[in-house]
Amino acid sequence: MALRLYDTLTKEKRDFAPLDPSNVRMYVCGPTVYDFAHIGNARPVIVFDVLFRLLRHLYGENHVKYVRNITDVDDKINDRAARDYPGLPLNEAIRKVTEQTERQFHDDVDALGCLRPTVEPRATEHIAEMRTIIDRLVEGGFAYVAADHVLFSPAAMNAANGVLPRYGALANRSLDEMIAGARVDVAPYKRDATDFVLWKPSKPGEPSWPSPAGITTEGRPGWHIECSAMSWKHLGETFDIHGGGIDLVFPHHENEVAQSCCAFHTDRMAQTWMHNGFLQVEGEKMSKSLGNFVTIRELRENWNGYSWPAETLRFNMLRTHYRQPIDWTLNSLSESHNILCDWYDDLKDGSPAVAPIPNEVLEALCDDLNTSKVIAELHTLRKRKQFGELRASLTLLGFSGERAALHRTAFGQSNFRVQADLNVESLIEARTAARARKDFKESDRIRDELAAMGITIKDGKDADGKPVTTWEIAR
């Protein structure tokens, strides 16, 4: 079956043809380890896990190499370490923060049903490769040293002849646009506003390594160079798929392409560039100040009054196509939970017969990971009582099919419950009003909305014969 993937660079869905079918290679930008991963961070992890599973299905388990890095050198890590462990030397505090965050991350994404990547390289273990690339860039005239920094020059790249791609091609911007958009407070040591940091000096006490390009003081790498170094080390100069969230296209991925192509004199870094859309919560951008910042851990432990099973989170994520934005809402999460409960109930009672994955499911998945279409196919399989096929498809997507995995605890006393109860009451009021004006379409819609929230309603009459509606939580 032909796999077709949407490529951010060429802006089209194309047939996927690996450079070497016996070694399909994918790199995905991983977490910066300083805090619990939020539900937006979970999106690329889940999306590319589905792709990893599909590639393994198509090319064989031992013929796919998936690399997802861990960024363990970053200002945010240093700040967190100084804040959380003020008594410790900074380097020790940093190790504590990164090790602990990495453990939390693994615990969360393991629970979400994501396979571990083939390699999970840490940035701090690839400083030598970063220095090599930086030296090559300076020798090639693409980078220069100024004030103990090494800076990459996009203008030099675009002035060079040969196979190199144009800087700005991935993000679809021109250098002039980027210069116009550059901030006014450009560092004085930069030749051009668009030049970006490959290497910089470390402040006293910060992690530091011997510098490249003849700089005599120690320093540390910029963010973009990490991924060029780790993908090179583990996947080679050019590989098949590079992925991450849409926010990484510019500047991070644009700069990765620039570094790798100029260092290795290649016309491309990856054959296919894939980016997942952004996730927002209840209609708003997730942010700490808005108070709607949700970590994977919170969802698993207590979000809006429930501990949500990790498989429910995974399923809710896959109901939306990966390139579309997701609005993460309590309604859709409850609905996802109920769908999975129904399916798993059927699987428990239905025939355990082993069945192949139906073509319709594979075709939808091979059509640029159309998981929403796949889920529609799964609804059909259930309707037709093809439980063996349903189970096989769920397994391919990384679901256990085990009813026990969907255990959900409700926390009756949380603020959410008060809020949720108010929502339920006001929805029931709106439904009663709709019924009174004989707008049954609207009253049915509200009943369905309540059902999606896990609320069952019962219509009756009170002692005076007036209609009343009572409700209860379905599960």
Pick the closest to residue 426 from 391, 434, 98, 463 (CA basis). 434
Q: DSSP string covering 28-74, please?
A: E---BSSS--BHHHHHHHHHHHHHHHHHHHHH-GGGEEEEE-BB---
Of the pair 104, 469, the CB lying nearest ligand AMP is at: 104
Of the pair 29, 317, the CB lying nearest Zn ion is at: 29
Q: Catalogue the E-assigned strands of 395-440.
A: 409-410
Counting contacts by CB under 6 A, is residue 320 touching ligand AMP? no
Contact of residue 32 among ligand AMP, Zn ion, none (CB under 5-8 Å per partner type): ligand AMP
Q: Answer yes or no: is 256 a known binding residue.
A: yes
Stretch that binds ligand AMP, among 25-33, 208-216, 387-395, 421-429 (CB under 6 A): 25-33
Say if residues 260 and 167 touch (Cβ distance below 8 Å): no
Backbone angles phi, psi at 329, to 5 degrees: -125, 160
Per-residue binding letters, 324-363, with ligand AMP (x by CB under 6 A):
----------------------------------------
Contact of residue 227 among Zn ion, ligand AMP, none (CB under 5-8 Å per partner type): Zn ion
Which residues ranging from 229 to 268 are in contact with ligand AMP (CB under 6 A)? Answer: 244-245, 247-248
Using CA atoms in the order 45, 47, 52, 53, what is the torsion angle rounded to 10 degrees? 110
Counting contacts by CB under 6 A, is residue 284 touching ligand AMP? no
Counting contacts by CB under 5 A, is residue 28 touching Zn ion? no
Q: Answer yes or no: is 265 a known binding residue.
A: no
Question: Do strands 467-473 and 455-461 pair parallel, antiparallel, or not at all (unpaired)?
Answer: antiparallel
Residue nearest to ligand AMP (CB): 245
3, 5, 43, 55: residue in contact with ligand AMP (rule CB under 6 A): 43
Question: Which residue in the block uniquely carries the two structure tokens 């890095």?
Answer: 69
d(CA 260, CA 27): 14
Kindly state the smallest distance separating residue 280's Cβ from ligand AMP, in Å.
Answer: 7
Distance of CA 269 to the CA centre of its chain: 21
Counting contacts by CB under 6 A, is residue 321 touching ligand AMP? no
Which residues ranging from 285 to 314 are in contact with ligand AMP (CB under 6 A)? Answer: 286
Kindly state the smallest distance separating residue 420's Cβ from ligand AMP, in Å.
Answer: 24
Find all residues with CB under 8 Å of 87, minimum gap 6, and list them. Answer: none
d(CA 201, CA 208): 8
Which residues ranging from 189 to 228 are in contact with Zn ion (CB under 5 A)? Answer: 227
Of the pair 113, 358, the CB lying nearest ligand AMP is at: 113
Backbone angles phi, psi at 319, to 5 degrees: -70, -20
Give the number of other Cβ atoms within 10 Å of residue 395's Cβ: 13
3, 5, 26, 29: residue in contact with Zn ion (rule CB under 5 A): 29
| Contacting residues toward ligand AMP, per CB under 6 A | 29, 31-32, 40-41, 43-44, 244-245, 247-248, 276, 278-279, 286
| Contacting residues toward Zn ion, per CB under 5 A | 29, 227
Binding residues for Zn(2+): 29, 227, 252, 256
